[in-house]
Amino acid sequence: MNNHEIDYKIYGDDMQFVEVELDPQETVIAEAGSFMMMEDDIHMETIFGDGSGNSSGGLMGKLFSAGKRVITGESLFMTAFTNQGHGKKHVSFASPYPGKIIPMDLSELGGKIICQKDAFLAAAKGVTVGIEFQRKIGAGFFGGEGFIMQKLEGDGLAFVHAGGTITKKELLPGQTLRVDTGCLVAMTSEVDYNIEMVKGVKTALFGGEGLFFATLRGPGSVWIQSLPFSRLASRVFAAAPHRGGGKDEGSIARGIFDIFNGD
């Protein structure tokens, strides 16, 4: 086993966090901004890339590997948390928005998972975090959220976060599932993935949905989320006031004033 064998426990319902238990000298890596709390004797270190040790390409190989993370909107750096004490210690990572944390044992999933960018939360050291380009031009140009996806490779535990309610679908060979590109969370590597345009001009223009959806063809496992962050953010933005105003705009007093003023 190349990966550190970490234990964990997930707390909460809609705003979850995962508590990882580390034996002495065990390490977990996490995206910047996901850290919540940790106990004494855990050493926190910023590392270049995912710290997987894949340095066959020398310095340029490391730069290229880390640079690919920028394409998915992630930082060049990740954070490693190592237990440098003598007993078991705990470190916790929190969800960035309402949803669920999905633990994935890569050793039971063929050693590779493809997931939405920004879905990765944390993993045992040794899990490599890279990008997965779509082979088909149509998916590349029109895929939206589904264009460039992350890939998690290794034989250890990884934690992925998704919004709303999560469902897992097991696709049989040749079985097809069409999904909104933003609702696709993750899939195993054997799933065939492509982007298709919604048929019918009226449906595309007036149906209230996007112009494209993801077509997933089995065999393999697929994880779907009911509330993509992009959908949540657009609703919040649409409900927010956009009028120009004074320095008190957005305050409770201003809101009450608007109600009585007939706005």
Please tell me the predicted confidence (pLDDT) of residue 222.
Answer: 96
> C-alpha angle 99/169/220, rounded to 5°?
120
Mark residue 75 as left, alpha or beta (left: phi above 0; alpha: psi -120 to 50; beta: remaining): beta
- Position 63 scores a pLDDT of 55
Q: What is the pLDDT of residues 2-52, one digit of tens each?
A: 567 889 999 998 889 999 999 999 999 998 889 999 999 999 998 876 556
Q: What single string gives the DSSP state of each residue in 91-153?
A: EEEE-SSSEEEEEEEGGGTTTEEEEETT-EEEEETT-EEEEEE-SSHHHHHH-GGGSEEEEEE
Q: Classify domain 7-241 at the CATH superfamily level.
A: Mitochondrial biogenesis AIM24 (3.60.160.10)
In the predicted model, is pLDDT for residue 109 greater than 90?
A: yes
Question: In this structure, are residues 204 and 198 in contact, taking their beta carbons and an 8 Å threshold?
Answer: yes
Check residue 157 and give its pLDDT.
Answer: 94
pLDDT, residue 66, reads 54
Annotated domain spans of the chain: 7-241
Better pLDDT: 17 or 261: 17
Q: pTM score, two decimals?
A: 0.77
pLDDT band of residue 196 (cuts 50, 70, 90) is confident
- Give the model's pLDDT for residue 91: 97
- Answer whether 117's CB lies under 8 Å from 150's CB: yes
**What's the DSSP call for residue 198?**
P
Q: How far apart are CA 42 and CA 207, in angstroms?
A: 52
Q: What are the tens digits of pLDDT across the range 48-91? A: 765 565 544 555 555 555 555 555 555 567 899 999 999 999 99
